[in-house]
Structure 1
Amino acid sequence: MDGKETLRQEGLRHLKEMPQTDKLKVEHQLAAYLFSSSIWKEASSVGLTMALPHEWDTTKLIQQAWLEGKKVCVPRITENRGMKFYHIESYDQLTDGALRIKEPIPARCTLVSKKEIDLLIVPGILYDKSGYRIGYGGGYYDRYLSDFPNETLSLASKQQIIHTLPIGPYDLPVKHLLTDDGFLF
């Protein structure tokens, strides 16, 4: 197992073993900081993934976006480890997709281009203080971010921030990193 994979496994274990009360507290802090930020307020459309149980819950973010009249865009996995985002207006437009993650049903929603997503919330397991991340190893987001023109942000607990990460040639940092202590940048 290489250094990245060892870190990935350690980070996943930490997330999966976090007590539910601690998880809810972190999610509450992340949401409070995010919703009061200019990055969130200025975005008329938000791209995000439907979270797995050990990840930070994104349903609260989706509901807040809908409440504020924002366009919510959710990814669907495509061939060659790609992603396409679709505008959803209801959870009825989702189905069980690849990797046990809820995905949009293309026939029930509208495909959106990268430039139509003002703020992309990028998932990950571990981060460094420059915004580089270790995700699940599929490279889906690194491919998508390669020519993504707008704001990118990741949500993380303080425990997910480590000093340095092994960075590969295709790894791209997010522009903003928000922890339960506030924005790092």
Structure 2
Amino acid sequence: MDLDLKAVKQQLRSRIMEERKAIPDKRRSALSAQACSYLEQLEELKNARAIMAFHPFGAELDILPFVDQARARGQEVWLPLTLTAEKRLVPYRYSGPEMLKQGVYGIWEPDPTRAEKAELSMLDAVLVPGVAFDLRGGRMGYGGGFYDRFLAALPRRPFLVGVAFSMQVVDEVPREPHDIGLDGLVTESGFFQS
């Protein structure tokens, strides 16, 4: 990656993370609830057998109400375990908060001793976290490349939807050849198809 692009991404990442952190808790909860209601209405998610989600961390949009609702509908929900040394994500079936442990960066993630590995061939949809998104399927994560590697290795492409506050949407996310585009984005303002 050329240094200019790296610098541009780093500046964008820092700016958006600072602005996102500044959202007051009460407002964050209200915006998260609105975004979850849009997630619940998405046909691609309603019809999914298995959905890989993420446990919100720091100032991320809280998707746990959607996760609980999907489980109540009888859907399988997975959460990823981050293996930093191997630079990869391994999804496990989410059975409730008791199967979680605090992992890398303080993120709650599956405890392999209390969780069942997910069957990748069943994966129909992935809720993808990130720092910045555009409305053309562009996404910028936290810089580790975990999601791009995970998605590139799947046996077939699931429905990929980014989840973020609308303040995380930019005109254009700087993209690289290995970046995997999303099918859409959900914010508190609705669903935007890429």
Q: Aligned to 1:93, which of 72, 93, 99?
A: 99
State yes or no: 1:147 paired with 2:114: no
State yes or no: 1:82 paired with 2:81: no
C-alpha deviation, 1:147, in angstroms: 3.5
Q: Percent identity among equivalent residues? A: 27
Name the CA distance, whole Å, in 2 between partners of 1:157 and 1:124: 10
**Tell me, what secondary structure is at the counterpart of 2:93?**
strand
C-alpha deviation, 1:30, in angstroms: 0.7
CA contact (8 A) 1:125 1:136 kept: yes
**Residue in 1 aligned with 2:136?**
130
Stretch deviating more after TM superposition (58-67 or 84-93): 58-67
**Tell me, what secondary structure is at the counterpart of 1:154?**
strand
**Tell me, what secondary structure is at the counterpart of 1:170?**
coil
CA contact (8 A) 1:115 1:150 kept: no
Mapping for residues 9-20 of structure 1, pairs under 5 Å: 9-20=14-25
CA contact (8 A) 1:93 1:105 kept: yes
Name the CA distance, whole Å, in 1 between partners of 2:150 and 2:77: 17
TM-score (norm 1): 0.94
Which of structure 1's runs of 4+ aligned residues deviate more than 2 A?
A: none
**Residue in 1 aligned with 2:65?**
60
C-alpha deviation, 1:145, in angstroms: 1.3
> Number of aligned pairs?
185
TM-score (norm 2): 0.90
**Tell me, what secondary structure is at the counterpart of 1:29?**
helix
Structure 1 letter corresponding to 2:168: Q
State yes or no: 1:34 paired with 2:42: no
**Residue in 2 aligned with 1:115?**
121
CA contact (8 A) 2:45 2:125 kept: yes
Aligned-CA RMSD value: 1.4
**Tell me, what secondary structure is at the counterpart of 2:173?**
coil
**Tell me, what secondary structure is at the counterpart of 1:2?**
helix
Name the CA distance, whole Å, in 1 between partners of 2:82 and 2:167: 29
Name the CA distance, whole Å, in 1 between partners of 2:136 and 2:153: 19
**Tell me, what secondary structure is at the counterpart of 1:34?**
helix
Name the CA distance, whole Å, in 1 between partners of 2:55 and 2:140: 18
CA contact (8 A) 1:73 1:117 kept: no
Runs of 5+ consecutive residues of structure 2 not aligned to the other structure: 1-5
C-alpha deviation, 1:75, in angstroms: 0.5
Name the CA distance, whole Å, in 2 between partners of 1:32 and 1:106: 31
Runs of 5+ consecutive residues of structure 1 not aligned to the other structure: none
